[in-house]
Structure 1
Amino acid sequence: MCPQRGLKRLRHPELPTTTQRFITPQGSGVVVLKEGMGSMGWEGSPGNLSQVSRKIAAYLGLNFPPERETDLLRGLRRAAADLQFPDLQKFLHHLLTQPLQPREIHTLATHLTIGETYFMRDPGTMLVLREIILPRLLQEREAQQRRTLRIWSAGCASGEEPYSIAILVKKLVPDIPAWDIFILGTDVNPAALEKAQRGQYTRWSFRQTPPWVIQHYFRESEGGLMEILPEIRRMVTFRLLNLVTDTYPDVRSGTAGLDIILCRNVLMYFTEEARRKILHRFYHCLIEGGWLIVSPGEAHLLWETPFQARRYPEAILYQKPAEREATGLLAVNSRASGEITPSVPPAGIKSPSGASSGKPSGTPVLPRSPGRNGKTSPASPLRNRRHPTIEDAYQKALRHYQRGEYREVIGLLENALNAGDAPRGEAFCEGKVFHLLARTHANMGDLPSAQAWCQKAIQAESLNGEHYYLLGLIHQEREDFPAAMGALRRALFLQPDLIMARVALARIHLHQGRHAAAEREIRQAMHRLEDIPADQEVPASDGLTAGELKCFLEALSAPVNHTR
């Protein structure tokens, strides 16, 4: 060790390029390892760091090119300390040899993501939202007698962005209780979300914020912090969500049928592959005509996507076109990025109502395979080849569903169901096929079809509470609250431990001002969660762990406690 603490000195006449970025020359052939390298173990460390970077990209989508290796090391060192590893070298070895557990992923997210934000960030975008986009949406919904508004702030950090949106909506909608307004804030950093749920901020979060925001929507609290008013806090739902590994859109998590998605200063930190997949999913999260808002510095990331740029003097926003407009765009884009491709309904598919879509039913369904001379001939199963079953189609459709490829899901399942002579498979159950079709249609915003398929699932499996739970969510989306509550209660009658049905009931009670009933459902849900380990997934929750759901319920109960 050299006299300077924490630094190792090496003498080497010629260091390779991959090594030079980890050292600082000191003259006379002496080099000093840069901060964070002293405890890593020198041999092989550049390669190890590159492997760790790739693993982090797989779990979190974050991109750490060579010029950001100092940031990566700093974050890894802090994560190692939080997770109680004795040194960075042992933590790196663990990362390279073991699958990451939820707690480790959350800790890495806490120290590797950048949560820099403030209220009313990017005034031009906020002006377009306040003066053009939101007023038009509200007027259209009022004319349609459908008072709903659904907005998602993806990568919301400590909550300044979704609260800013809630303030704009509150300013434009004087009768908030008469509307079904859902504003979702998600992030992969649990520490940031805890701060967001508290709703308390230092003056730094208001460094470019108009004075009227602070005057009308905040109050001073202990320690000189500014606390957002409860009426604004109640408008926002926060949830832990990983944009790379979690499933969305999904009606159960509130990420389907959205009017607006804001994802600003987030995509720039992801790998190119992760960005393509996220944008593909965002596209399907939005209704036709829905809006995606990114930061000005991320605009080039949408050049080869089906989103249409809408230019205003103050900002550029991106809109999902109507389906008839999107077909050509998707076809062009599929050659560029390979992510979003056009699809047409399979031949002869019948919807639950009996209507046929696509080509006439007489069109051949089997693919044509090359003959001996290279020409195509009708395909026939090989002698020893197992005939695909509906269970096979279901498993394949499930993989498409997890990637957000909903048209492929519908095509596979409806085509398999229409092939009346197809074998079912040993584990086949029609109910789960109908359930998946219902969820797929719901995520695409086609609620009537979703409801029809859900009813078919119930007919196939009348004692499965999860079918009634999904039906309740669909009724809730259609603002038929009595029917939603009836379906959710039926779900709980069949499966008393179906915690998510209680959560859905609590949200309906809160929406309709029945705070005592909401508190009762929240309390019972919390009681059921005590029997589930914190890192175990809650059934029917779309990947939400028991610990994450507890945090959500605590935030949900805040307005209940406030009314006491």
Structure 2
Amino acid sequence: MIDAECEAALCGLIAERLGIALQPHQLGRLHACCAEAFERFAVEDCGELCARLRSAPADDPVLAYLVRGVTVCESHFFRDARQMALLERELLPALIARRRAAGNLTLRLWSAGCSEGQELYTLLLLLHRLLPDAPAWNLHLLGTDINVNALHHAMEGCYREWSMRGVDEALRAAAFERLGEGVGARWRLRRERFPAQLRFQYLNLAEADYPSVFTGTIGQDLILCRNVFIYFERPTVRAILERFARALADDGALIVGACDHVPDGVPGLRLVAGEEAFHFRRDAAAAPPEAPPATLAGLPYVSPLVPPPPPSAPPAKASDTLGTLLREAHALAGEGRLEEAEAAARRAVAHDDMAPDGHFLLALVALERDQPRIAEGALRRVLLLDREHALGHYQLGVLRHQQGRAAAAAQALQRAREIIARRDPAAAVGEYGDGMTYGHLAELVSHQLELFDE
């Protein structure tokens, strides 16, 4: 048992370390989780637990266990029939029609607080239901969460019957494979039947890590963040919504939980009330506030080939300096103007082929534009020019994991960790790390290794 003083101390630490504000109805889960942690990790008392959490690194097993305990992973496919109807009958068809008319067959969807992936996979299934020519489209689906254990389950894509209660028999037969029999049976989504660029990564919505080209959170056509705001105080909710507004494309939409508290007057968001469900639109007339520093959570990067020669990149002006070109490429990428960002990055590379930052920005933009070979070559060039480029090793590790090369992924991440250990934790990673410190990057590397090791 934990007393009131211990409870208050733990709640304060959870808010400090994770940005999560536990509500009275969630305290029972906290008590149960702590009781289990005392036994599981041989913690003597609440004082020892608080001391450990106060100084624990990002990959400390006790901290990870606490995150699992206080965040709810219950979800299911096609959750909330009214919102699903809004998506399938209005928002997604209209979005698809606009993109098709513009000749731009690219869609970006983000499930923020994705839990074990049911919501993101629901979006995948809806898109393939609405797109008879789905293989011709570039579908980018991103799922993020703070619970690494939930992300691991999402990557597996296997679910018990309770998560499947919104899936009819016809869809089960077409999209899922049954594994086992009886109460222990699980259903595996046949992802190979639904082509898309789909990834899951760690991201804490309470931190200013987005929107950013590094996290893959720019230019989103649709963001779903449902039943997540229960974990945050109202000022934090407003800050999250402001970042979502910046993350949306000009015609992008945001859907939150039907019962989520949403403050009025969030810059850059306009409420659209429907007969059965509401959503928000990016309000181009109300410019969102200036973006805060963003950081480099796990965008998947690819490994090394030599990049092809720049395809008729506009030449740099005589007045351009390398710094000017890099800042232009970085700013354009942050706004989701990827073609222009690539052109600026190529001009920077042409200006100084020996500068790692130009190649690194080119790799980031190329990945967002579905140009993996260009990205591979650019990333290889980064590490050839600077063997101590921590971000390059980190991103290469994430890529190798996505390629199924677990040992190589761990090797690259360990190399990043070794480099970071020699740096000042409070120092900025680099001019184009958007304010990220080596201390924060160390946490991201730890979370990624933890995700790989699950």
What's the counterpart of residue 426 of structure 2? none
- My pick for the range that moved more, 239-248 or 77-86, is 77-86
Distance 1:72 1:554 in 2: 25
Q: 2:215 aligns with which of 248, 253, 269?
A: 253
- Indicate the residue corresponding to 2:308 in structure 1: none
Q: How far apart are the structure 2 equivalents of 1:448 and 1:256? A: 14
Return the TM-score normalized by structure 1.
0.63
Judging changes above 3 Å, is the alpha-carbon distance between structure 1 residues 459 and 54 closer, same or farther for their aligned structure 2 residues? farther
C-alpha contact (below 8 Å) 1:77/1:88 kept by paired residues: no
For the residues of structure 1 that align with 2:158 and 2:377, how far apart are their CA atoms?
38
Is structure 2 residue 422 aligned with structure 1 residue 528?
A: no
Which SS does the other structure have where 2:262 is aligned? Answer: helix
Aligned residue in 2 for 1:287 = 249
Query: Which segment is superposed worse, 71-80 or 494-503?
Result: 494-503
Q: Give the drift of 1:102.
A: 3.4
Shift in Å, 1:230: 2.8
Among 259, 262, 277, the alignment partner of 1:301 is 262
2:266 maps to a residue whose letter is T
Over the residues paired in the alignment, what is the CA RMSD in angstroms? 3.7
Residue 468 (structure 1) aligned with residue 359 (structure 2): yes
Residue of structure 1 in register with 2:152 after alignment: 194
Whether the 8 Å CA contact 2:108–2:221 is kept in 1: the answer is yes
CA displacement 1:59-82 (0-9 Å, x = unmatched): 222222445433332233334444
Alignment of 1:127-142 (within 5 A): 127-142=85-100
Q: How far did residue 137 of structure 1 move? A: 1.6
Q: 2:281 aligns with which of 319, 323, 335?
A: 319
Q: Which residue of 2 aligns with 1:277?
A: 239
Work out whether residues 199 and 233 of structure 1, in 8 Å CA contact, stay in contact via their aligned partners in 2: no
**Letter of the aligned partner of 1:465 in structure 2?**
P
- CA offsets 1:14-51 (integer angstroms, 9 cap, x no match): xxxxxxxxxxxxxxxxxxxxxx23xxxxxxx5344323
**Take 1:233 and 1:79, find their aligned partners in 2: how far apart are those partners?**
40
Matches within 5 A, 1:10-21: none
1:44-193 equivalences under 5 Å are 45-66=3-24, 68-95=26-53, 98=55, 101-103=58-60, 104-193=62-151
SS at match of 1:326: coil
Paired residue secondary structure (2:48): helix
**Distance verdict in 2 for CA 1:259–1:203, change over 3 Å:** same
CA contact (8 A) 1:535 1:545 kept: no
**Scaled by the length of structure 2, what TM-score is found?**
0.77
- 1:354-410 Cα deviation digits (max 9, x unpaired): xxxxxxxxxxxxxxxxxxxxxxxxxxxxxxxxxxxxxxxxxxxxx942499xxxxxx
Query: What are structure 1's unaligned runs of at least 5 residues?
Result: 1-35, 38-44, 328-339, 344-398, 405-419, 421-429, 511-517, 556-564
Instruction: Return the alpha-carbon distance in structure 2 between the equivalents of residues 79 and 255 of structure 1.
Output: 34
Residues 1:451 and 1:527: Cα distance change in structure 2 (over 3 Å): same
SS of alignment partner, residue 108 of structure 2: strand
Task: Name the structure 1 match of 2:329.
Answer: 438
Q: How far apart are residue 435 of structure 1 and its match?
A: 4.0
- Asked if structure 2 preserves the Cα contact closer than 8 Å seen for 1:59 and 1:245, the reply is no
Match of 1:230 in 2: 191
Cα deviation, 1:476-497, whole Å, max 9, x if unaligned, reads 4345666545534433443467
- Paired position in structure 1 for 2:293: 401
Partners in 2 of 1:108 and 1:505 — Cα distance? 28
Offset of residue 195 of structure 1: 1.1
Instruction: Report the Cα distance in structure 2 between the residues aligned to 1:158 and 1:479, rounded to whole angstroms.
Output: 26
Question: How much has 1:462 moved relative to structure 2?
Answer: 3.6
Structure 1 residue 232: deviation in Å? Answer: 5.7
Contact 2:111 / 2:224 at 8 angstroms: preserved in 1? yes
Larger Rg, first or second structure (1 or 2): 1
Number of aligned residue pairs: 407
> Sequence identity, in percent?
28
Return closer, same or farther for 1:100/1:158 CA change in 2, 3 Å cut-off.
same
Q: Which runs of 5+ in 2 are unaligned?
A: 297-318, 424-428
